[in-house]
Amino acid sequence: MDQEKLATILDWPLPSSLKQLHRFLGFCNFYRRFIPKFSELARPLTELTKEGNFNSDNIQQLGPRASFLALKRCFSAAPLLHHFDFELSRTVHVDSSGYAVAAVLSQPDQAGKLHPVSFYSQKLTDRERGWAIFDLELLAIVEAFEQWRAWLMGTTEPVQVYSNHSNLCHFTTAKNLTPKQARWASFLDGFNFVILHIAGKANPADAPSRRPDLLGEGPLIPTQAIARRMVSVNDVGGIIPSKSFNLYDLHFQRPTQELLDYFIKNYDKVSQDERKALTERDKILWFQDWIFVPSTLRTRIIQLFHDAPTVGHPGIARTLALVTRSFSWPGIRKDIIRFRRVRLDHGGGGFTQ
């Protein structure tokens, strides 16, 4: 088997946080039925997920390291991995994390169970990180079809492409495309495929797109990229009334020092009780791998993601998924439910917390 097709898995670094460990084990769990004695093989790692067991020393012990390497090796051979067969249907799962895209090409066995054939992941450039979620998810599809062009072209049966971004399902019939989207549509027009929606938790491409080494140096959202990450969901200029919050009175094409200074200043107002459960890095408070949002900013964060034109006023579950990609705070779901209820009561108007 060509090792390049497995590099996404074989190059996966040893988890350095509990969240990273959960993500890796969750990915392996997609394929546990194809991994003999999976529970026994994964036990040294699953033990570390129990409360208080994970730390930087324990993950480096022989047992967890051997378990991690053994699980990765399972992806390079049968019964899990299959060689590509031109006679079988093709299924592609794609995802974008905001800093990388990933895809998994699979084919069914005789029982109809999907086996991976090839994996792909690619770190986003600084320019791409500023794109809207819709474009990033579409980029993942384009990259997958470019990577596996020889295997996906000329199929009589449509290639099933799964994404957790439901708006992509209508891309092939969309009329109003940006120049970039039009170029991609022209390229994809040479393939026979259909885009289908899948929940993020059921998407095997989700974890590979969030491999910690693809992020690069520093925390999950580097300080210098906070402003870009907050507004990269879409082109939000003008959708937030300027009188409501001067954080959004700027042009958001790139983070400015004024915006970063304002953001840091607000985080300094978080109470000491809240700080006890948090860590501070680069003058920003973090809850594990999420940026912690103090009460003064929570409504605005929800409003930013909920009102994004490219996501079309999502429901509670989708808004929660968008916000929690980067941010966290106690009672986040209740706040989103309250936000939605007030919006409905006021016919879509905003409110001040």
Residue in 160, 182, 162, 157 with CA at minimum distance from that of residue 172: 182
Quick: pLDDT tens for 123-172: 998 888 878 888 999 999 999 999 999 999 999 999 999 999 888 998 98
The pTM for the full model equals: 0.61
Quick: pLDDT tens for 212-222: 888 753 333 33
Asked if domains 91-208 and 217-345 share a fold, the reply is no
Q: Which residues contact 95 (CB under 8 A, 6 or more apart)?
A: 101, 102, 103, 137, 140, 163, 164, 200, 203, 205, 206, 208, 209
Instruction: Please compute the mean of the pLDDT values over residues 180-189 and round it to a whole number.
Output: 94
Instruction: Please compute the mean of the pLDDT values over residues 106-128 and round it to a whole number.
Output: 92
Of 38-52, 135-149, 213-227, 241-255, the least confident:
241-255
Residue with tokens 């200029």: 237
| Architecture field, domain 91-208 | 2-Layer Sandwich (3.30)
Answer yes or no: are the C-beta atoms of 104 and 208 closer than 8 Å. yes
Extents of the domains making up the chain: 3-74, 91-208, 217-345
Q: What is the pLDDT of residue 239?
A: 28
Q: Which amino acid is at 100?
A: A
The DSSP call for residue 285 is E
181 pLDDT band, cuts 50/70/90, is very high
Of 197-201, 244-248, 273-277, 298-302, the least confident:
244-248
Instruction: Please compute the mean of the pLDDT values over residues 271-279 and round it to a whole number.
Output: 56
The DSSP call for residue 237 is T
What are phi and psi for residue 88, nearest 5 degrees? Answer: -100, 160
Three-class secondary structure of residue 92 per DSSP: strand
Q: Which amino acid is at 70?
A: A
293 pLDDT band, cuts 50/70/90, is confident
Of 3.30.1540.20, 3.40.640.10, 2.60.40.4070, 1.10.340.70, the CATH number of 217-345 is 1.10.340.70
What is the rounded CA–CA span in Å between residue 190 and residue 149? 10
Write out the E strands in the chain. Answer: 91-96, 100-108, 114-123, 159-163, 193-197, 279-281, 284-287, 290-292, 327-328
